Amino acid sequence: MSKIEMKTPLVEMDGDEMTRILWKMIKDELLLPFIDLKTEYYDLGLVHRNETNDQVTVDSANATMKYGVAVKCATITPNAARVEEYKLKEMYKSPNGTIRAMLDGTVFRAPISVKGIEPCVKNWKKPITLARHAYGDVYKNSEMKIEGPGKAELVFTDENGNETRELIHVFDGPGIIQGMHNTKKSIESFARCCFKYAVDTKQSLWFATKDTISKKYDHTFKDIFQEIYDAEFKADFEKLGIEYFYTLIDDAVARVMKAEGGFIWACKNYDGDVMSDMVSSACGSLAMMTSVLVSPSGVYEYEAAHGTVQRHYYKHLKGEETSTNSVATIFAWTGALRKRGELDGISGVCDFADKLEKATLSVIESGRMTKDLALITSLENVKILNSQDFIKEIRSELEKLLP
Ligand code: NAP
Ligand code: MG
């Protein structure tokens, strides 16, 4: 059998711990035997990040901007314990944070639907994709504790030294205050990423804020989305028969619970933090959730939504068997391959991605799965597989689907 040809390389970002082990198994068993895999390899494992003073992360983000599509393995975000464990020269920033800042992107997360793992919200028939704005608001705030009576004001000083003031509150006793911001540029990028992703995936887009209460702050989000929609995306949406729908955040939450899914829900930073955890836990498992970073210029980086699964890695190091779910990492590869195939006009690559996903899901649907899924499945007579055997079962299923 001849291997499927690729044209442009994918940017491959290797990572850490158990997901690094899965990464190699996936390549060896599910990709290299079937596809003439072209990648430009960057080792974002913590050891190599430390050797390069984290330059490798910056280089991988630059390569992503050059080629347009990347696939990333989960990586350790160092904390004090990791600095000690890996004898790090410094406590490097989160690679995802660095890459996101360079690509100016928005993260879209969607659960992977499979028969046997049903969301606990019964009417959710199709996945709900969550888009979270990743800049500003309460995540870049300033706060103060007020000890006693006095006046709190917002003060803006322009470049010429002119002040604008707005009264926050006249305190007659102790209290608290908070200041936060966002920028027009960041909100515009967020809006463009969301509209573009909706067009790419042919799904309607919902967006919600609390503009009735926050008449300047949240209302600006609403206005920017509407202006960009009208000027740049309305025609495309109408052609595809999808809609842009704005409503109040409380109305959106109520509607989401009653909807059947199949749309993108764009959220401000805090709403996205909270709602993505709600959607993912309602769908069962973080190991069944894909994540893609999309920049406003149309650059894509695919990854799993979970971390490096540290606890399983230490078992693996002790020679014990693990049953780590590789589905989200496999879908990161298929997402990237399909996008690469689309951009290069190579239908064979897209077709391979479709078949690998199909093979993965049919293994689960036949009752063969990793332990995390066995704990939540509605299927009976389930066979729990270890990390390696699960991937091997997918390989034999894939071989049946390929010519
Ligand atoms: P985690 O790696 O997502 O794992 C948390 C727990 O969730 C695991 O211990 C495991 O539960 C379960 N789990 C997650 N993925 C699984 C999978 N594929 N198969 C089976 N079970 C899975 O999160 P963490 O332990 O908080 O973080 C570990 C490291 O990952 C940290 O160093 C963190 O910085 C990094 N991290 C990276 C990313 C990223 O690169 N995008 C994201 C988050 C965290 P049981 O142990 O109960 O089996
Ligand atoms: Mg959260």
Same domain, residue pair 137 and 251? yes
Same domain, residue pair 298 and 236? no
Same domain, residue pair 127 and 203? yes
What's the number of domains the chain is made of? 3
Structural domain of 243: 118-141+181-283
Q: How far apart are CA 17 and CA 15, in angstroms?
A: 7
7-28 pLDDT per residue, tens: 999 999 999 999 999 999 999 9
163-189 pLDDT per residue, tens: 999 999 999 999 999 999 999 999 999
Same domain, residue pair 262 and 171? no
Q: Cα of 306 to ligand 1 centre, how many Å?
A: 5
Same domain, residue pair 276 and 360? no
What φ, ψ does residue 401 adopt, rounded to 5°? -85, -25
Q: Cα of 132 to ligand 2 centre, how many Å?
A: 11
Cα 138 to Cα 133, 181, 265, distances in angstroms: 12, 8, 20
Residue 4 is classified by DSSP as B
Q: Whose CA is nearest to atom 36 of ligand 1?
A: 307
Instruction: Give yes or no for residue 308 CB within 6 A of ligand 1.
Output: yes
Domain boundary, last residue among 256, 283, 310? 283
Q: What band does 42 get if pLDDT is binned at 50, 70 and 90? A: very high
Same domain, residue pair 83 and 175? no
Question: pTM for the full model?
Answer: 0.90
Same domain, residue pair 126 and 259? yes
For ligand 1, what atom is nearest to the CA of residue 75?
40
Q: Cα of 61 to ligand 2 centre, how many Å?
A: 24
Same domain, residue pair 203 and 273? yes
Same domain, residue pair 264 and 298? no
Q: How far apart are CA 160 and CA 158, in angstroms?
A: 5
Same domain, residue pair 370 and 228? no
CATH number at residue 271: 3.40.718.10
Same domain, residue pair 239 and 136? yes
Domain boundary, last residue among 221, 256, 283? 283
Instruction: Give yes or no for residue 306 CB within 6 A of ligand 1.
Output: yes
Same domain, residue pair 171 and 187? no
Instruction: Give yes or no for residue 362 CB within 6 A of ligand 1.
Output: no
Q: Whose CA is nearest to atom 46 of ligand 1?
A: 311
- Give the environment of ion ligand 2: residues with CB less than 5 A: 273, 277
Ligand closest in space to the Cα of 272: 2
Q: Could you write out the DSSP letters of every residue in 313-372?
A: HHHHHTT-------HHHHHHHHHHHHHHHHHHT-HHHHHHHHHHHHHHHHHHHTTEE-HH
Q: Could you write out the DSSP letters of every residue in 195-212?
A: HHHHHHHT--EEEEE-TT
Instruction: Give yes or no for residue 398 CB within 6 A of ligand 1.
Output: no
Q: What band does 340 get if pLDDT is binned at 50, 70 and 90? A: very high
Ligand closest in space to the Cα of 130: 2
Least confident of 39-43, 131-135, 226-230, 381-385: 131-135
102-161 pLDDT per residue, tens: 888 888 999 998 999 988 898 999 999 999 998 888 888 899 999 999 999 999 999 999
Asked whether residue 266 carries a pLDDT value surpassing 80, the answer given is yes
Q: Cα of 186 to ligand 2 centre, how many Å?
A: 21
Instruction: Give yes or no for residue 14 CB within 6 A of ligand 1.
Output: no
Domain boundary, last residue among 235, 258, 283? 283
